[in-house]
Structure 1
Amino acid sequence: MGDKKLKVAELFAGVGGFRLGLEKNDFSIVWSNQWEPSTKLQHASKVYEARFGKAQHTNEDINEVVTRDVEEIPYHDVLVGGFPCQDYSVATTLHNSKGLKGKKGVLWWSIHKILESKKAPPKYLFLENVDRLLKSPAKQRGRDFAVMLQSLNELGYAVEWRVINAAEYGMPQRRRRVFFIGYHKSTPVYKRLFKSSKTDWLTETGTIANAFPVTKTTAVDTITLNGDLVEITNNFNKDGKLSPFQNTGLLIKSQVYTLKTTPLYDGKRVVLADILQNEEVNPEFYIDDKDQARWKYLKGAKKEKRTTKEGFEYNYSEGGMIYPDALDNASRTIITGEGGKSPSRFKHVVATKKGLRRLTPIELERLNMFPDNHTKLEGITDTKRAFFMGNALVVGVIEKIGAELYKQIHV
């Protein structure tokens, strides 16, 4: 099957979650890019290079690369990446549509430039984002996603999407993300999608439906994307309180088909207890007696008066959290601030025979289905390793979608 390997360019590579999932199938990473804009030391890129080698890996702002020459990125069949959720609105309103360009520094437009400018653009896209993309910004729900869909539509792609919570398919973390697959109009998959029943594609025959089965819970809504990117930026869902985009949908030739689906899964479920290290855990992960009360307070329910810096008094309330974390369920979402000793409402705490403790870097890696010690490297702190996992994706989701995308392409 070696000759059938699909070539992949991996953007926003982090510590290589997409790569780990795709290399379990017949995908070959021919180029990768990781750049952390706010830090001098490029820790994630260092880990990536340590695991996968320096060849074909770049540690440079992707904006700089695409501005210089998109052909520096070698030919690839599939472009993948978890791109940052930012404000995608179009900055200019030139009458000449060639002048439409997104806001400077918004990384969606780097992807756009690759697709628009490469002599042989990728035939397939496989992208990931936080699910709030479907409903941002608050004053114009769904506008950013509509800009993204219309820009891909103008470039000749059909796109299917689904919001997936990894735990609802037996994986160890309740991490909800939106995944997109794009098909260029020159591909047989695009032509199949165009001819198919859109409901069947989204619930039975499509790439994501095969990877993650669902039942249909609402009728399909259709939306027509009208106008260029400036018009969509200015007018999309102007008066709507809710985003028109449901958790499942597709766009093809300006038509959006979207519906709400529910996961269909009755297989094995991995829970927090399953991923805990049984061997000795470093004492620094155990919670000090002197900190117990602070942890309890932060995790607990609150109704109290608080005062702003300006002296304004207000009522503050929040619900309690399960404390310590339930071992018989998938874990809560890992966040970037998961590491470090300081008490926190959001860090995970587990009860063990030796007492309450935080999760170790290996346990956090397991929750994202990374190999043990994937992020272990000289000069990389445990706090930084936790930060990587707060930014990472669940490798099992990529693996399953990748397997179905490969089949879909090789029908």
Structure 2
Amino acid sequence: MKSKVWRSIDLFAGIGGIRLGFERAFNDEISTVFVSEWDQPAQKTYSANFHDAFNIEGDITKDEVQEKIPPFNICLAGFPCQAFSLAGKRQGFNDDYKGICRGTLFFEVARICEKHKPEVIFCENVKGLTIHDKGRTFSIITKTLKQLGYQVFARVLNSRDFGVPQNRERIYIVAFRNDIDATDFRFPDPTDSTKTIADIIEEKPVPAKYYLSDQYLRTLRAHRARHEALGHGFGYEVRSWDDVSAAIVCGGMGRERNLLIDTRQTDLTPTTHIKGEINREGIRKMTPREWARLQGFPDSFIFPLADVHSYKQLGNSVTVNVIEAIARNIKQILDKPINRVSETKSADKK
């Protein structure tokens, strides 16, 4: 008997990390029928890796864009996290940026799912979502999903427990439509907590451009000293190869908190414009490919743009390994011979 192919939509898609995790778990039993991502550089990276017969749509808040969404079974939505991040201002549903209230973009997910009633809604966000506004923001999200007719499951998981050496805690929300028998759904247990930075290091010496200049290194050290004097403890960090990385994030902090000592490169002639010379201590930032490995992306995944875009896109992305582990458990529920509550009740009466 031919297996059912579940139709999915990829909202706030970024570079496709959530989609990739679900495709790994579902194999050829899932088909993406709609993609939305407003950031054009991210669109280019997405298109370089996923070759769909349709165009990536932009602003999902527009009615004319939502009207293009075909029927679907699974909604994938990594809705923007800046409004809830522990590193940001945490304005939540009041956060406004470039005319778009990012904190309320979740409600666009709700609006779409209210119309199409998919079997599953999957969301990912920063851990700070759970405590924003003393938990009221998260309560509103779960209450909204329940009012739409869904059973809601949520858990904070750490990427380091799923085969990548990155200390990255995120909240994952899985909502099953009420007619789905999801009583057996569980979030995955840790699969592999043994990986270290040594497992994601580039195999060959990396180019000199990734090594810090001596002047930049002095600036970082002075910056950390100032913060330590104030009792803040903020600053750059050099990671041991047998350690795990801090969470990779957008901006310089994500790179500065995950520096490495790597003395394999012997040609330290500057290839970019820097102030001073390249440091002689072997201190460098991780490469985009190393970041990609920290997020569980395969080496075959293409990053067609300049490093500055790749770092941003990976810092904004998800850990594919975690998504895959959750998706496998979702698939187990959907694959039940009787996976409707109504059908189960009918069977019980016979």
Q: Please tell me the TM-score bracket, short chain as reference.
A: 0.7 to 0.9
- Answer whether contact 1:8 1:29 (CA < 8 A) is retained: yes
Unaligned runs of 5+ in 1: 37-41, 90-101, 194-204, 214-264, 305-315
- Helix, strand or coil for the counterpart of 1:188? coil
Distance (whole Å) between structure 2 residues aligned to residue 363 and residue 104 of structure 1:
30
Tell me the equivalent position of 2:289. 362
Secondary structure (helix, strand or coil) at the match of 1:30 reads strand
- In the aligned structure 1, how far is the partner of 2:42 from the partner of 2:10? 14
Partner residue in 2 for 1:108: 106
- Cα 1:300–1:164 change in 2 (3 A) is farther
Distance 1:271 1:57, change over 3 A: farther
The 1:296/1:408 distance shift into structure 2, 3 A limit, reads: same
The question of 1:350 aligning with 2:270 is answered no
Change (3 A) 1:144 1:58: same
| Structure 1 residue 398: Cα displacement | 0.6
Distance 1:185 1:270, change over 3 A: same
CA distance in structure 2 between the partners assigned to 1:14 and 1:74 by the alignment: 20
> Take 1:69 and 1:44, find their aligned partners in 2: how far apart are those partners?
18
Specify which structure has the higher proportion of strand. 1
Counterpart residue identity of residue 295, structure 2? N
**2:189 alignment partner, one of 212, 217, 231:** 212
Query: Partner of 1:201 in structure 2?
Result: none
**Counterparts of 2:174 and 2:8, CA distance in 1:** 14
Give, in whole Å, the separation in 1 of the partners of 2:216 and 2:101. 45
Contact 2:160 2:193 in 1 (8 A): no
* CA distance in 1 between partners of 2:24 and 2:2 (Å): 13
SS in 2 for 1:107: helix
Counterpart contact for 2:289–2:299, Cα < 8 Å? yes
2:182 aligned with 1:184, yes or no? no
Change in 2 beyond 3 A, CA 1:128/1:323? closer
* Distance across 1 between alignment mates of 2:234 and 2:11: 38
- Residue number in structure 1 paired with 2:20: 20
Q: 3-state SS of the aligned residue for 1:393?
A: coil
Question: Counterparts of 1:7-406 in structure 2 under 5 Å?
Answer: 7-26=7-26, 27-36=30-39, 42-64=40-62, 67-68=63-64, 70-85=66-81, 86=83, 87-88=92-93, 106-118=104-116, 121-137=117-133, 141-189=134-182, 193=183, 205-208=184-187, 211-212=188-189, 267=192, 269-300=194-225, 302-304=227-229, 316-319=230-233, 323-338=237-252, 346-354=256-264, 355-372=282-299, 374-377=301-304, 380-406=305-331
1:298–1:344 contact (8 Å) kept in structure 2: no
Kindly provide the amino acid, as one letter, of the partner of residue 117 in structure 1.
Answer: K
In the TM superposition, residue 78 of structure 1 has moved relative to its aligned partner by: 0.7
- Contact 2:224 / 2:234 at 8 angstroms: preserved in 1? yes
In structure 2, how many angstroms separate the alpha carbons of the residues matched to 1:103 and 1:156? 25
CA contact (8 A) 1:17 1:392 kept: yes
Question: How many Å apart are 1:54 and its aligned residue?
Answer: 4.3
Structure 2: gaps spanning 5 or more residues: 84-91, 95-99, 265-281, 337-350
Conservation of the 8 A alpha-carbon contact between 1:163 and 1:177:
yes
Equivalents in 2 of 1:104, 1:292: separation in Å? 35
Q: How many angstroms apart in 1 are the aligned matches of 2:41 and 2:300?
A: 15
Cα-to-partner distance string for 1:219-267 (whole Å, 9 max, x where unaligned): xxxxxxxxxxxxxxxxxxxxxxxxxxxxxxxxxxxxxxxxxxxxxx6x4
Say whether the 8 Å CA contact 2:162–2:321 is kept in structure 1.
Answer: no
Q: Distance in 1 between matches of 2:37 and 2:61?
A: 12
Identity of aligned residues (%): 29
